[in-house]
Amino acid sequence: MVRTKESRQIRVLKAIQTPVEIQAEYCRRSFNFFMQEFWPEVSSDTPLWNWHIEYLCNQLEKLAKRVVLKLPKENDLIINIPPGTTKSITCSIMFPVWCWLKWHWMRFIVGSYSSSLSLEHAEYSRDLVRSDKFKEYFPYLDIKQDKDTKSNFRIVKRIIDKNGNITKTILGGNRYSTSVGGTLTGFHGHILIVDDPLNPNQAVSEVELASANRWMDQTLSTRKISKSVTPTILIMQRLHQDDCSGHMLDKNKKHILHISLPGEIRLFSDMVKPPELKRNYLEDLLDPGRMSWDVLKEMEADLGQYGYAGQVGQRPTPPGGGMFKVDHFQIVDSTAGHSSIMTVRYWDKAGTQSGGCFTVGIKMGRMAGGKFIIYDMKRGQWSSEMREAIIRQTAEADGGNVVVYHEQEPGSGGKESAQSTTKNLAGFAAYADRPIGNKIYRADPYSVQVNNGNVYLLRGEWNKPFIDEHRYFPFSTYKDIVDSCSGAFIKLSRKKEAGPIIGKRI
């Protein structure tokens, strides 16, 4: 609603006469001020104000104002921040209510990983609007009596004359709360908010990860009032490389404002986004009042290195690369001086060309002195026919001195596929391999050599995806590269299994 010059003058006079109206006007003008003024209405805890709260408030204000002006959205918003930093009170509970102070018509869809958590946030918002203090400050706003449930409540705006009489009631916006994966049929929002779409237990399940990402892509994205204006706000701590934050960033990096605030920057300085926010850290801490070094030390003991790196550091892998210290790979520009005395090509096969796992063929050699070199990687999502053709072509290019191994999956189907690949490689030394143990178990001896700087890489375009998967393993989205490397390493380390691999062909 556009205010006339006369209405503004009346508001100024009222503000002078009524101190409460002055406070109310400050609340309307500043989300951060509103947060501080109404904190006691949503929490009995003593507030600990830190710079990041005001920063987030300002960013949310900017986003809302673009929606009000119906300007095409500049970006969606991702906020990655540790637990216990007031993120839910700021973004899920108080932000929609603050918007209604100025724009009563706004509609919100708010989701969390569970319906109970989503409804709890909604109840806090509803209780805030019902509070005596809120009614004193903003008597023109109320909840519609016949639309008053935690899962879906609606705002009304009252037009009040100078004598305090209600002359008109205008229907306003609403807050619809749901769980990730829940139904949204029939509901649309001016702003979509997702607060913690996964919990740590769900993040270790590939099924849960895929389900959350699919809900974000295929369900929530269709619930926008305006496709060009409505933004999505995602708030969470990082839990996995392919969690909802990682998924959104990989899909649409250019149109996302990414705010990443690790709890400390001694280990996670590179994760601060925008980078200039590092200047706000005190003693390398995001929030010394909530998360001192003693508190962080205790969190690391509770969460473990993977959990700490993701939830506190906003890097869903431990410092140094988890199981693999990827900075210990030695990258060389040529094979001069790095010839192998034994060379194998190990294939980890996949049978699809439409997503899912990759087929990977690693060419690895063992050099004198017990060091190893990876010369090449073939990787793709191919149909079975295309995969077999590429395996054959690669063997021809590698030459007869390179022994070929290919992983045999369990069951009759895996046996038949292995027999087909061996037949396809007629004329070459080719063997099916049935690995023992899970992928992490098989990768362990290989990781020791990587971490001790004994594995070289020949520089090539394949280096980046190769290193990225190692960086995040075993929580990487794909594990085919590491699995192929582990298989090749085992064959090179056990001479009796390696077969006739004499020579220096690379």
Asked if residue 307 is part of any domain, the answer here is no
pLDDT tens for 39-69 read 999 999 999 999 999 999 999 999 999 999 9
Residues 242-268: what's their mean pLDDT?
A: 92
Q: Are residues 85 and 223 in the same domain?
A: yes
pLDDT at 319: 61
Given 260, 286, 301, which residue is the final one in a domain?
260
375 or 351, higher pLDDT:
375
Lowest pLDDT segment from 128-132, 424-428, 438-442, 459-463: 438-442
Mean pLDDT of the chain: 90
Torsion of CA 78, 79, 81, 85, to 10 degrees: -150
Residues 236 and 351 in one domain: no
When pLDDT is cut at 50, 70 and 90, the band that residue 498 belongs to is very low
- Does residue 473 fall inside a structural domain? yes
pLDDT at 9: 67
Judge whether 446 lies within some domain.
Answer: yes
Res 252 pLDDT > 80: no
Is 231 in the same domain as 330?
no
CATH of the domain at 399: 3.30.420.280
Same domain for 232 and 339, yes or no, is no
Residues 466 and 344 in one domain: yes
- pLDDT single digits (tens) 99-111: 999 999 999 999 9
What is the 8-class DSSP label of residue 91? I
On whether residue 291 sits in a domain, the answer given is no
More confident residue, 503 or 70: 70
Q: Looking at the structure, do residues 253 and 330 belong to the same domain, yes or no?
A: no
Residues 202-213 pLDDT 10s: 887 888 999 999
Q: What is the 3-state secondary structure (H, E, C) of 266-296?
A: CCCHHHCECHHHHHHCECCECCCCCCCHHHH
Average the pLDDT over each of 204-213, 338-347, 458-467 and give the range with the smallest value: 204-213
Indicate if the pLDDT at residue 497 is higher than 60.
no
- Domains in the chain, number: 2
Mean of the pLDDT values across residues 230-249? 94
Please state, in angstroms and rounded to a whole number, the distance separating the CA atoms of residues 379 and 483.
Answer: 13
Burial 433-461, CB ≥16 within 10 A → b, else e:
bebeeeeeebbeebbebbbeebbbbbeee
Q: Is residue 288 part of a domain?
A: no
Query: Are 331 and 234 found together in one domain?
Result: no
Look at residue 502 in the predicted model and tell me its pLDDT. Answer: 34
The pLDDT of residue 353: 58
Q: For 330-345, what is the mean pLDDT?
A: 92
Confidence of residue 438 (pLDDT cuts 50, 70, 90): confident
Same domain, 376 and 487: yes
pLDDT above 60 for 5: no
Q: Which of 218, 239, 260 is the last residue of a domain?
A: 260
CATH number, domain of 253, equals 3.40.50
User: Would residue 93 count as lying in a domain?
Assistant: yes
Name the domain boundary from 221, 244, 260: 260
Provide CB contacts within 8 A for 5, sequence distance 6+: none
Task: Decide if 306 is inside a domain.
Answer: no
Neighbouring-strand partners of residue 195: 235
Question: What mean pLDDT is predicted for residues 297-322?
Answer: 82
- Whether 378 and 485 map to the same domain: the answer is yes
The string of pLDDT tens digits covering residues 161-196 is: 877 788 888 999 999 999 999 989 889 999 999 999
pLDDT over 80 (residue 506): no
Q: Are residues 330 and 413 in the same domain?
A: yes
Look at residue 323 and tell me whether its pLDDT is greater than 90. no
271 within domain boundaries:
no
Q: pLDDT exceeding 70 applies to what percent of the chain?
A: 92
- 250 lies in the same domain as 348: no
Peptide bond into 47 cis (omega under 30): no
Q: Does 156 lie in the same domain as 12?
A: yes
- Domain containing 355 equals 326-498
Question: 0.75 cut: is pTM over it?
Answer: no
More reliable by pLDDT, 148 or 40: 40
| Cα–Cα nearest to 246, from 191, 203, 193 | 203
- Checking if the pLDDT of 256 tops 50, the result is yes
